[in-house]
Amino acid sequence: MSFKNMAPVRRLGTGAALLTTLALMAPMQGHAQGLSWEAARTFSLGLAATATHWRTDCLQTNYCDRNDSGWRLTAAWQFAPQGALELVATEQGRVRGEALSTAGLKASELRVRGMGLGLAWLMPLSPDWLFSARAGALANRARFTETAALDAVGTETSHTRTDPMAGIGLSWRLSPSVSIDGRLDWTSTRLAPPSQSLLGGGRTDAHQWGLGVTGYF
């Protein structure tokens, strides 16, 4: 099933589904504690290269690029054996649409960056593997730029709003103080570009895949 065909209610329920999964896995926590993720320290710092897919509609465009690269920086404080408080900064990349009309080429572009705070649940699978799930809030800053053939400078607007975020990850212990991490993060924001934008408006989901490293201190 394509992203376009998924119902909005289902998209907005992603976070709730994730939390439900965590609740169902709660009875496994006692066993997981015995597996001992040995890399666990009080503080950690992780950096990941990311690929983002924006689930937005490009209206009457000749070209629409919903995919871009970015990065994610995560600083965490592990306050319990299976709990951590995370501070996140992320570059989510941009989505761009272009259309050719009688007035020439018109282009609309939206670039999003965010900073947020969340909680992570840490579930050791073995001494070398760790599953994590997280949920929180992300302050997204969206910068919208529109250019036309007769206006080389273009117009630019921006806005910031707080949106939900959620994610899952799998880490492999490379050494006692370093792990390699793969993760999938989700957020949903309102693009809110001008009404004439080629990108459309309303709430739009983004999925961000990441691969990086984490150091434990």
Q: pLDDT tens digit string along 135-193?
A: 999 999 988 888 876 666 667 778 888 999 999 999 999 998 999 999 999 988 776 55
CA 3 to chain centre: 16
Domain boundaries, the chain: 3-22+45-216
Separation between Cα atoms, residue 14 and residue 18, nearest integer Å: 6
**What band does 29 get if pLDDT is binned at 50, 70 and 90?**
very low
What integer pLDDT is reported at residue 62 of this predicted model? 82
Pick from 180, 183, 178: which is nearest to 207 by CA? 183
pLDDT reported for residue 152: 60
The whole-number pLDDT of residue 11 equals 44
Residue type at position 87 = L
Provide the whole-model pTM: 0.75
Kindly state the tokens that stand for 135: 């949920």
Assign domain 3-22+45-216 to a CATH class.
mainly beta
Chain-centre distance for alpha carbon 159: 18
Give the chain as a 3 state SS string. Answer: CCHHHCCHHHHHCHHHHHHHHHHHHHHHHHHHHHHCCCCCCCEEEEEEEEEEEEECCCCCCCEEECEEEEEEEEEEEEEECCEEEEEEEEEEEEEEEEEEECCEEEEEEEEEEEEEEEEEEEEECCCCEEEEEEEEEEEEEEEEEEEECCEEEEEEEEEEEEEEEEEEEEEEEEECCEEEEEEEEEEEEECCCCCCCCCCCCEEEEEEEEEEEEEEC
